[in-house]
Structure 1
Amino acid sequence: MTKNKQFKPIFFAILAAALYAISSPVSKLLLREVPPTLMASFLYLGAGLGMSIIDLIRYKKYKGKTEAKLTKQELPYTIGMVALDVAAPIFLMIGLTMASAANVSLLNNFEIVATSLIALIIFKEPIGKRLWGAILLITISSIILSIEDVSSFSFSFGSVFVLLASICWGLENNCTRKLSVKDPLQVVIIKGFGSGIGSLIIALILGEKANNISFIIAALILGFFSYGLSIFFYIYAQRDLGAAKTSAYYAVSPFIGVGLSLIIFREIPTPLFIIALSIMIIGMYFASTEEHNHKHHHTICNIFKKKCQEIV
């Protein structure tokens, strides 16, 4: 692989991380005018709309050639993915209204814990020593971040909602793994429209309203970049780098989010936050350097390179 070809997937992995990192701080700004459930809806609808345009461009460029489409066999996992993607961002947006954006950015890492433990329990996927260490450290860090008052050991309700979102996304990740060999653009579009419409229905039932058009457009654009393009670039990077290396580069995402949050909201980190951040960095290092002792065989048809390759 030439230097240019090596750099491109690394760039895409870091770009995917950066695009997702902006979601927490920018969402918190938009939540001033857009209610939580509506906000979740606009984020996913933005992803669905934006990725549909990209899919149309791809269709015209490659004259209708696409990757493997979803079938009836994947229907249960598709329904599970959409349902969990309705719940998760709603919990996250509610959490953002009550917790600092920096805390939320770090707490999002609990998704690794949820995903790994669910994969172990349901799919019997083995967990290595490093990942067990990561699970322990991320959990400890999450508990520290969730403590609102050290003297009374009371928990922040905002943090609890963010952790619920992480658990939902952990379940969702295990549904999505069953769709991993299918067309990623189709998966993202279904996630976008399915979850966006589901959240919109709930928002209307709750009587939520958003009158500021500029904030609504901003939420849709944020969704396209953070929930659409981010996943698109992640999958693109994964095809050249493999899952482990892509995860290692993507692990910078929460820390970019923390940095942006501290700058945008001029938040002064507390001693507890600094302790939690330090523990989280070590935990993320263990998670991103976990080595898999078992082999995965996937055949991926890359429409952008017009070739199929087997990933071992």
Structure 2
Amino acid sequence: MNLNIIYALGAAALFGASTPLAKLLGLNLSPILLAGLLYLGSGVGLTLVRLIRDRRWQPSGLTASEWPWLIGAIAFGGVLGPVALMFGLTLTFGATASLMLNLESVLTALLAWMVFKEYADRRIVAGMLAIVAGGLLLAWPQSASQTQGWIGPLAVALACACWAVDNNLTRKVSASDALFIAGIKGLVAGLVNCSLALLLGAKLPQFSVLGPTLIVGFLGYGISLVLFVLALRGLGTARTGAYFSTAPFLGAAIAIVLLGEPVTLTFWAAALLMGLGVWIHLKESHGHEHQHDALKHGHRHVHDEHHQHEHSFEWDGTEPHSHEHEHTPMRHSHAHFPDIHHRHRH
């Protein structure tokens, strides 16, 4: 299996596990404060990991042209999205909100295809539809109920749209340090949501609750987002979003194991649909003659057919390694994904 697919499914598993883990720990916090602490755990944890990895603070490595994309991703995904969701949850039943959250993967793919011109064939569309159908089935309310008007669901839909924009903007900087990207997004989102919650009267919990919450955030939001960025780098936005939309199923599976929740027919039907969608994606093989334009960027790489360049520094031959490098124009043919080196028109 392609390593980038493992990254995407790993991101989905960690994010999906965050809800049953929070339930297992018995966290009873206001929704806005809980979101803020989870993001804060992500940001603080990843920043510490990055400091340990580099043994000191290192520059982000982002170019001047990449910062606007990252700032936009943070604004939409770390600030506007969570606030819209928390507002929507106050006016929407949980089942309805869960159902509508599946809009994120659909809107992510639509933006990738229609606005950012990412290529997708019929197989990818069919796989995404199967995965989304499984998510819809899993989240479908088991008993008849009515929503509390249209404002709440509209706010949840707005949150999904914000995260769809976030996913597509993050793809623009996915070649850069994934730890930095995920860490800065977590810090900003955490500080904004925690500040908002405290202004609205929420109180910080005792450390016995605060500690586990931050740890769940580090794993379910932080490490998950690092893997998501790595998957964006190798798979493109639509495919990563499709794999990530298996998170509700993986979360439900973890809840069954950890919390002993019952296994229903709906669960197995959703598992079948999502498994079918993932299988369709795994069977994808896309190859044709294509043109690589001149490109200058920096990321971790080995000297394969796409990375034939000289070094402006003394290199000891270690691979993989990371530095800014330039790609010269090249035309060739091979199987590929819409990764950071294959963002061409068809």
Instruction: Give the residue type in structure 2 aligned to 1:243.
Output: L
Per-residue displacement from partner, 1:30-73 (whole Å, max 9, x unpaired)?
57422111111111111111111122123327xx7666225365
- Greater Rg by CA: 2
Q: Residues 179-198 of structure 1: matches in 2 within 5 Å?
A: 179-198=173-192
* Identity between Structure 1 and Structure 2 (%): 30
Per-residue displacement from partner, 1:96-152 (whole Å, max 9, x unpaired)?
99648xx95x986653322111112322323210222134334434443444256x5
- How far, CA to CA, are the matches of 1:156 and 1:272 in structure 2? 25
Bigger relative contact order (CA 8 A; separation at least 6): 1
Of 33, 37, 46, the residue aligned with 2:28 is: 33
Q: Does 1:134 align with 2:149?
A: no
> Are the counterparts in 2 of residues 99 and 156 from structure 1 also a CA contact under 8 Å?
no
> Are the counterparts in 2 of residues 141 and 276 from structure 1 also a CA contact under 8 Å?
yes
Pair 148,255 (structure 1): closer, same or farther in 2 beyond 3 Å? closer
Pair 167,282 (structure 1): closer, same or farther in 2 beyond 3 Å? farther
The count of corresponding residues between Structure 1 and Structure 2 is 297
Return the TM-score normalized by structure 2: 0.67
Secondary structure of 1:179's aligned partner = coil
Q: Does 1:213 align with 2:207?
A: yes
Most deviating of 206-215 and 113-122: 206-215
- TM-fit CA distance, 1:85: 2.1
Q: Which structure carries more helix by proportion?
A: 1
Secondary structure of 2:115's aligned partner = helix
> Are the counterparts in 2 of residues 147 and 154 from structure 1 also a CA contact under 8 Å?
no
Instruction: Give the residue type in structure 1 aligned to 2:51.
Output: L
Q: Report the equivalent of 2:113.
A: 120
> Are the counterparts in 1 of residues 27 and 213 from structure 2 also a CA contact under 8 Å?
no
Most deviating of 81-90 and 208-217: 81-90
RMSD: 4.3
Q: Does 1:148 align with 2:163?
A: no
Structure 1 gap segments, 5+ residues each: 1-5
Q: Report the equivalent of 1:3.
A: none
Q: Does 1:262 align with 2:260?
A: no
Most deviating of 66-75 and 292-301: 292-301
- How far, CA to CA, are the matches of 2:45 and 2:101 in structure 1? 24
Instruction: Give the residue type in structure 2 aligned to 1:133.
Output: A
- TM-fit CA distance, 1:214: 1.6
Structure 2 gap segments, 5+ residues each: 302-318, 328-340
Q: Residues 296-311 of structure 1: matches in 2 within 5 Å?
A: 299-302=297-300, 305-307=320-322, 311=341
- How far, CA to CA, are the matches of 2:267 and 2:100 in structure 1? 11
- How far, CA to CA, are the matches of 2:88 and 2:215 in structure 1? 20
> Are the counterparts in 2 of residues 67 and 183 from structure 1 also a CA contact under 8 Å?
yes
